[in-house]
Structure 1
Amino acid sequence: MLDEDVLPCALEWDATTSSVPQWARFEAAWYVASYPEAKDAIASGACEDALDHYRRLGQTKGFSPNIWFDEAWYRATNPDVVAAIKAGDLLSGFQHYLHYGHPDRSPHWLFSEAFYRAANPELTEQALKATGHANGYAHYLSGSEADFRTGSLFFDPSVRRPEVRTRANHPTSENDNAGPFGAFLRSPKEAADQKRCSWYFDPHWYLEHYPQARAEVEAGKYRNALHHYLTTGERDGLSPQAGFSEDFYRATYPDVEECIVAGHFRSGYDHFLAAGAMEGRQPAQDVPLATYASQAFVREDVDSGIFRDPFAHWVAHEEHRKNIVPDEIHTKMMFCREAAGLLVDAGRKPLDFSYEGRPAVSILMVLHNQFPLTMMALSALRGCFRGAIDLIIIDSGSRDETRDLEHYVQGATIRHLEHNASFLLSCNMALEMAKAEAVLYLNNDVRLAPGAIENGLRRLGSDGRIGAVGGKIIRTNGKLQEAGSIIWRDGGAYGYLRDADPNCPEANFVRDVDYCSGPFLLVPTKLARNMGGFDTAYAPAYFEESDFCVRLIRSGYRVVYDPSVVIEHLEFGSSSSSASHALMQRNRRIFLSKQADFLRNQYPAHLSNVVMARSRPPTQPRVLFIEDRVPLRRLGSGYVRSNDIVRSMARQGCTVTIFPVDAYYHSLGSIYGDFPDTVEVLFDRSARDLDGFLEERAGAFDLVWIGRTHNLARLLPVLHKNHRYLPGTRFVLDTEAVVSPRLRLRDEVLEKGADATRPALEDELRSEFECAYFCQQVVAVNEHEAEMIRQAGHGNVTVLGHSLRPSPTPRSFGERHGLLFVGAIVDEESPNLDGLLWFAREVMPLVRAELGPDTRLTVVGSCSRGVDLRPLHACEGLEIVGEAEDLRGFHDSHRVFVAPTRFAGGIPYKIHESAALGLPVVASDLLIEQLGWTAERDILSGGKPDPQRFAASIVELYRNQALWGNVRDAAIGRVEQECDPARFDAAVAGILKNVRRADALLRVG
């Protein structure tokens, strides 16, 4: 921060004086060029120079002293400054900014101090002071170090870089060392409006759609289109670009309009950029943002930081996408050409399938010409699996270079036939030669993805009841051919999700299906032989794999679709499509005759039956699991427990579909790595989709499990409306935490004052759980909260805690140093943020005074966008790590875990987790009471909390090795007793059983 005595004199300093920030320097040349009357006053001798004019006249007229500070903007956004000027207390907004406003107010329509500091959390007050910068704006304007940063969503140097970097190399002023930002501000309006300077505003579209804005910019009233929008257009309800409609957004989301009226947001677009884009809200009628954002490449780009949010990604994609997408005919041609191109190396480097010992799999491939496709398929096969392969090839009467296949492939069993013996009979011939315990029927017009065979073998060996495994088949155009297949009642077949995106959530969970088609079918060898291979009635081909899978199912075996088995397929690559369809029709009639008993129990052929028919009928409940968001374990805040509930249901054979109420964006890897592969995770849905989703999934769920009471209250109208699509479905409300007592305690802690009109706690509890009538079962996280729910009038309550198995970290007491805090910060009133700030300000100085100034508190946990962490960064002794995938290393290196929560509900998982990892805890009495643990034995008390007691407990635990070991051992024992996974599974099973029993009793009654 600038010295108080320096600021008033800043304008008198030489512009090259480095200690004065650039925004505080007067720019005479720019001032004269911008205000012609100043030039006239100087020429007439009325003023000595530009600075004299500004001091005597300009500042009172609202002139700006330089290009970095916009007087009109500052006054328009700070009514208190205008009032002070009118009262005679200030001469200008610039004077206010110099003296008072620069620490936290924004000086310009294209720079936000709050945004810049939030985007660069390392710029703490200490860091700025150490580098001699008055504020974030001074740092931003300091030259090359700020060149790749941005102070506004509406100015991104990476978007405009080709032009602005050229201009930045030739500044128009000796004072202009602010890189692209300065170049943009100084550029004429024609150049400024030539192209975007961010993905959030399109100047060309804006001026084309708003002629009045164009006229005002051309008249010089505004510097450019962006200046017009940010100072006038946004306020007047204009839209910034084609992808966002201000009118549509406000009309679609009434809550946004309410926030704008209340003054929380300047416009619908302001809300959308702050929250809506990440919540999956739709920005315009024809922009399906939620669907677009669900695509893997979009999520990965956002997660990696290439784009701030899916909307920016969509805008960039729309600007650069090609207008012509190759059709499937062309992609098939490209596939074949690529196969032909591989022949160059085929003769020089023969493929080697030689092996010793017992092979992992026998691969059966039937060929009839198509030599280039065969070589590409075999090359991909060898490349994706390095294990021992018993490759058996039947050349069924080929007349091309396939007849000389031995020159190109070594170590394979190859049998050449003089005639075309048909695909089916050739497969049966190859089956008799197989030496491995598993056989894979593999087409020669496919390309296997890495891991396909290994994943398929792992799935096949996971359960002795699995008779066949198939995979995700993708056509050459990148769209799905099938994600498992359906057999209809009339004998017809349907590839589930044909033409869909292979990364859509419906295609990416393991399930039992009617059949998997022939391009990839993995079967136990003994079982295939016992069944006689393919039924010869279907020779030469088609329906043989459908019949085979039906025979497996009728014999008590499972046919499993596994999305980790990925196959690229040249559909109809080995025969003409017309001949194929003729064979299909003939063999369908045979299939109808042979499998009539099976078929009459299948679903009728209709698209409305696809969701029900996509899986074989389950023996365990089909569960729709609704939560705030996809419950990833790294999110904490109750999501770990929800994740454990999903895992428990999956272990017990339930078919689980996760439906998030709010859309948040995570990489596909982080999502699918966090759940059993049998769980369907609808990461691309949100509450706005639930209405149509329930109709689409009519009859598909036996149980709806709703996490958190506020979600049930929010969704209740939709559940009422669509109850006809949920026949016989039972409902469970998992409260996760009782909120009313926590809110009362929060207000008390934050000293918000008593509200005489506030209802009694009993009334608040009744109001909180008013919606619970809808559910057959209510779940609480501990007995204390269960009793409160009963007091609210609901006796159907059961308790479900946490699931955790102790795994103490190995480091000794002496090898550990420092304090650790773990917890997510979801909003400005988060209990974690409140507790951290209190601890950093009240307790940490006392601890450091005893243990030394090198003592550090490491803070680990995710933080929602928009939460201001600057107060934390300003505290001494904190190291803020942010989100971390693996917490074990942190628990292994630190000596004491702290939990200074002052208001909360439920059971603190982070304490259970820390105890399980062998790190003793000092916590507030509130958390100890929620745990039901014994203070000074299982855990040390920090009071209610109390700074002196909290610090004393930390110091004692930190120094006393014997105490540290005793508390560690006692806490591990608590976790073993209370969080046993088997006990947790039994509790989940009990809830499911109770709900089903209630359903049975209801039917009997």
Structure 2
Amino acid sequence: MLHVLRTEGAGVLLRKLARRVRATPLAVKDPPVVLTCQTPLQPLSLPVTESPLASIVIPAHACFAHTHHCLAALARAGARAAFEVIVVTARPDDEAAERLARYPGLRLIMNPNPPAPGIANARNRGAELARGATVVFLNPDTQVQSGWLDALLQTFQDVPDAGMVGSRLLYPDGRQREAGGILFDDGTAGSYGDRDDPDKPEYSYRRAVDYCSGAALAIRAGLFRQLGGFDVSLAPDGREDLDLAIRVRAAGFQVYYQPTSTVVQGDDAATARHDRSGSGFKIARRFLAGTWRQRRQPEPLAPGSPDTDIARIKERQIRRRAFVADNYMLTPDRESGSLRMSNLFVVLQELGFKITFAAANLEAPEPYVSQLQARGVECLYRPYVRSLAHHLETQGHLYDLVIASRADTAAAVLPIARRHCPNARLLFDTVDLHYLREARLAELAGHRSTRTLADWRKRQELGLIDAADATLVVSPVELELLRTERPRARLYCVSNVHRIHGSATPCRERQDLLFIGAFAHPPNADAVRWLIRDILPLARARLPGLHCHLIGADPPAAIRALAAQAGAGVTLHGYVPDVKPWFDQCRLSVAPLRYGAGVKGKINQSLAHGLPVVATGMAAEGMFLVDGESVLLAETPADFAAAIVRLYTDEALWERLSTGGLSVMERHFSFAAARRAIAEAIDAQI
């Protein structure tokens, strides 16, 4: 921490130490917003669109207030995605239908003579007339919460085999009603997590389930029609949603529960029969009986009954489990190492792993924890998990893979995992070699204390390599260095992972320079000081209008003051949630790092967007870049400034570097490249 004190000040050092020992608690969620019968039942407007992405189908309720409140919640919650609302009623001449006809934007469908009575028939009729690619069924006694629809639709984008996706259901008092359903081979079907705390980790991540309640359920419209909709002959017993889920899976798709889509449904405690074991499982119905059993031949269901281990039964489809620990909660919009790990999660899921992730201090800041959960990553956090040690002591036997990311976390996790994870392959993920970075800082600054710290880090990291079954590094340079230090160790290069976006804007339509990097990382702060003091004045002498944008979280006071002194030539933006516009609009990116280690995410991100980069050799180390073909390299302020001017004014060079950088990204930093590398490291088949 000495270099943090020297380069960033006591304030930043104290914040880092505090975060290491104090978790950011799970955010206290507001209770669900529930409209009551006292709310005035005035007509309300619903979205009007000619090209909806989703069609929301609601059977009209005998109680008009329920239907009104369902519609009011839809109007209040809204969505980024365009949607239409269809209400189906079998009584066109009653007062409720007359009142609904006055709701602007609502598609009111009259279904006076259905072939069979009930909700299933009304749903089928609404789906016949739906224009969206996704049909979403809502019961009229439900009230959706903010973000519910976008979370459902995003699941279809994230998981190609998703055929049907259900919401998390809550009771009006905020307790959980359903976190997916389970079908047992004794004929029992029911809701997982009933009347329990919905914030518990085991209920809060996307996962494949046997079925989801039809109260809030989305399905691909084409698939629904292909399957012939709900079986109306099952409707009197309320089994049509179970039946549809089984047919969806038989057609080669999966049914998913998406907890970040939250919907409130009224209490039906009078008709519910509860499991007495305290497992949070509500027996909803018996469904394997009579002619239905003869007509359907479902895939193998959960063995036993609700008296068995519900927590394990709900995940019986999972074949491999990975436990991943890092220093902090992943913040991929703020830090390159987090972005890499977040993308590696995608690769591990493609390889068939369920991922359980924990920050070393069990913090759970939003929106990051919810973003991981929405993607199917189980996150552990306080107060529900006592410690990583306790979790591994009790659950370690379940894991096939343990990844400990960064040296400090690995030092704490690997010894415990070695004792309590007998079936797991243990990986130490260096992210970058800390001792190499510290040694380079010592050489640059001439601090004896920093050299002492680098020596201690080296002993620590080499010891962790000895303790792990295999070690991941991000750079071929670091790979060769460690092969010299530990020739018998199992070492693998698993570098940064990026989606390749390509260039969105021609060179001539761009302007300005871009530097991007979190200032909590000391090499970035040093690079910006060098850039502002020594490089930009030389470049601006030849290009007087040149402007540089600095983007990165947590800029220290010294950097803010330096940027202010630079005047009109520099703008310090700090943290920016969406950086894509900057990659699309700036003419080039700069990476004037004077020390560091690993692979630089700032360069990866720029190249992935087709934005050429001027960098030091230290910044471009281990990235397969060639000077003049995929990057411009410079080491002194004068050379760096000259390279900026040259690239800024030479359109042909700009185009060559843009194309060359994209080619390097495709070969070495794409998801396909990461899939090959991680599969080799964990001895997996791809």
TM-score (norm 1): 0.55
Q: Any conservation in 2 of the 1:649–1:988 contact (CA below 8 Å)? A: no
1:977 aligns with 2:663: yes
Match of 2:109 in 1: 412
CA separation of 1:390/1:896 partners in 2, compared to 1, >3 Å: closer, same or farther?
A: closer
- Displacement of 1:690 in angstroms is 1.3
- Displacement of 1:416 in angstroms is 8.4
Q: Any conservation in 1 of the 2:400–2:424 contact (CA below 8 Å)? A: yes
Q: Supply the distance in 2 between the matched residues of 1:822 and 1:834 (Cα, whole angstroms).
A: 13
Match of 2:511 in 1: 816
Q: Supply the distance in 2 between the matched residues of 1:815 and 1:598 (Cα, whole angstroms).
A: 57
Code of the aligned partner of 2:28: Q
1:602 aligns with 2:303: yes
Match of 1:570 in 2: 266
2:415 is aligned, of 712, 717, 720, to 717
Q: Supply the distance in 2 between the matched residues of 1:756 and 1:808 (Cα, whole angstroms).
A: 42
2:483 is aligned, of 790, 798, 803, to 790
Q: Any conservation in 1 of the 2:614–2:643 contact (CA below 8 Å)? A: no
CA separation of 1:428/1:918 partners in 2, compared to 1, >3 Å: closer, same or farther?
A: closer
1:883 aligns with 2:539: no
Code of the aligned partner of 1:824: A
1:486 is aligned, of 168, 179, 182, to 182
Is the partner of 2:333 in helix, strand or coil? helix
Q: Which aligned pairs between 1:769-788 and structure 2 lie closer than 5 A? A: 769-788=462-481
Q: Supply the distance in 1 between the matched residues of 2:459 and 2:681 (Cα, whole angstroms).
A: 23
Is the partner of 2:228 in helix, strand or coil? helix
Match of 1:747 in 2: 442
Q: Any conservation in 1 of the 2:163–2:254 contact (CA below 8 Å)? A: yes
Q: Any conservation in 1 of the 2:438–2:453 contact (CA below 8 Å)? A: no
1:532 is aligned, of 231, 239, 243, to 231
Q: Any conservation in 2 of the 1:896–1:954 contact (CA below 8 Å)? A: no
Match of 1:902 in 2: 594
Task: Indicate the RMSD between aligned Cα atoms, in angstroms.
Answer: 4.8
- Displacement of 1:751 in angstroms is 0.8
Match of 1:634 in 2: 333
1:514 is aligned, of 201, 210, 219, to 210
| Deviation by residue 1:581-622 (Cα, 9 ceiling, x = unmatched) | 49x989538669959986764376469641x33345146x43
Q: Supply the distance in 2 between the matched residues of 1:914 and 1:585 (Cα, whole angstroms).
A: 53
- Displacement of 1:486 in angstroms is 3.2
Q: Supply the distance in 1 between the matched residues of 2:420 and 2:174 (Cα, whole angstroms).
A: 35
Q: Any conservation in 2 of the 1:907–1:930 contact (CA below 8 Å)? A: yes
1:692 is aligned, of 367, 373, 390, to 390
1:826 aligns with 2:520: yes
| Deviation by residue 1:116-143 (Cα, 9 ceiling, x = unmatched) | xx89xxxxxxxxxxxxxxxxxxxxxxxx
Q: Supply the distance in 2 between the matched residues of 1:359 and 1:849 (Cα, whole angstroms).
A: 53
1:613 aligns with 2:313: yes
Is the partner of 1:979 in helix, strand or coil? helix
What is the percent sequence identity of the aligned residues?
Answer: 20
Q: Any conservation in 1 of the 2:606–2:612 contact (CA below 8 Å)? A: yes
Q: Supply the distance in 2 between the matched residues of 1:894 and 1:956 (Cα, whole angstroms).
A: 16
Match of 2:5 in 1: none
Q: Supply the distance in 2 between the matched residues of 1:904 and 1:358 (Cα, whole angstroms).
A: 49
CA separation of 1:888/1:515 partners in 2, compared to 1, >3 Å: closer, same or farther?
A: closer
CA separation of 1:460/1:873 partners in 2, compared to 1, >3 Å: closer, same or farther?
A: closer
Match of 1:911 in 2: 603
Q: Which aligned pairs between 1:428-443 and structure 2 lie closer than 5 A? A: 428-430=120-122, 433=125, 435-436=128-129, 442-443=138-139
Q: Supply the distance in 2 between the matched residues of 1:609 and 1:389 (Cα, whole angstroms).
A: 36
- Displacement of 1:810 in angstroms is 2.7
2:550 is aligned, of 853, 859, 862, to 859
Q: Any conservation in 2 of the 1:483–1:561 contact (CA below 8 Å)? A: yes
Match of 1:658 in 2: 357
5+ residue gaps, structure 2, are 1-8, 102-107, 275-281
- Displacement of 1:808 in angstroms is 3.0
Q: Supply the distance in 2 between the matched residues of 1:957 and 1:357 (Cα, whole angstroms).
A: 46
Q: Supply the distance in 1 between the matched residues of 2:618 and 2:678 (Cα, whole angstroms).
A: 32
- Displacement of 1:556 in angstroms is 4.7
- Displacement of 1:737 in angstroms is 1.4
- Displacement of 1:629 in angstroms is 2.4
Q: Any conservation in 2 of the 1:342–1:376 contact (CA below 8 Å)? A: no
Is the partner of 1:778 in helix, strand or coil? strand
- Displacement of 1:377 in angstroms is 2.7
Q: Supply the distance in 2 between the matched residues of 1:500 and 1:982 (Cα, whole angstroms).
A: 46
Match of 2:324 in 1: 625
CA separation of 1:975/1:653 partners in 2, compared to 1, >3 Å: closer, same or farther?
A: farther
Code of the aligned partner of 1:965: E
| Deviation by residue 1:108-167 (Cα, 9 ceiling, x = unmatched) | xxxxxx99xx89xxxxxxxxxxxxxxxxxxxxxxxxxxxxxxxxxxxxxxxxxxxxxxxx
Is the partner of 1:837 in helix, strand or coil? helix
Code of the aligned partner of 1:614: K
Q: Supply the distance in 2 between the matched residues of 1:977 and 1:377 (Cα, whole angstroms).
A: 51
- Displacement of 1:780 in angstroms is 2.0
2:637 is aligned, of 939, 950, 975, to 950
Higher relative contact order (CA 8 A, sep 6+): 2
Match of 2:28 in 1: 295
Q: Supply the distance in 2 between the matched residues of 1:493 and 1:459 (Cα, whole angstroms).
A: 24
More helix by share: 1
Q: Supply the distance in 1 between the matched residues of 2:149 and 2:74 (Cα, whole angstroms).
A: 9
1:737 is aligned, of 432, 437, 454, to 432
Higher deviation after alignment, 350-359 or 466-475: 350-359
More strand by share: 2
Code of the aligned partner of 2:263: I
| Deviation by residue 1:814-863 (Cα, 9 ceiling, x = unmatched) | 9634x442221226xx11222333444444555556655x7654432112
- Displacement of 1:980 in angstroms is 1.1
Q: Supply the distance in 2 between the matched residues of 1:467 and 1:403 (Cα, whole angstroms).
A: 36
- Displacement of 1:885 in angstroms is 2.3
Q: Any conservation in 2 of the 1:511–1:562 contact (CA below 8 Å)? A: yes
Match of 1:258 in 2: none
Is the partner of 1:471 in helix, strand or coil? strand
CA separation of 1:764/1:790 partners in 2, compared to 1, >3 Å: closer, same or farther?
A: farther
Is the partner of 2:604 in helix, strand or coil? helix
Q: Supply the distance in 2 between the matched residues of 1:691 and 1:715 (Cα, whole angstroms).
A: 8
Match of 1:78 in 2: none
Match of 1:374 in 2: 67
Q: Supply the distance in 2 between the matched residues of 1:680 and 1:825 (Cα, whole angstroms).
A: 29
Determine which structure has more spread, i.e. the larger CA radius of gyration: 1
- Displacement of 1:749 in angstroms is 1.0
Code of the aligned partner of 2:618: L
TM-score (norm 2): 0.77
Q: Supply the distance in 1 between the matched residues of 2:632 and 2:45 (Cα, whole angstroms).
A: 66
CA separation of 1:849/1:568 partners in 2, compared to 1, >3 Å: closer, same or farther?
A: same
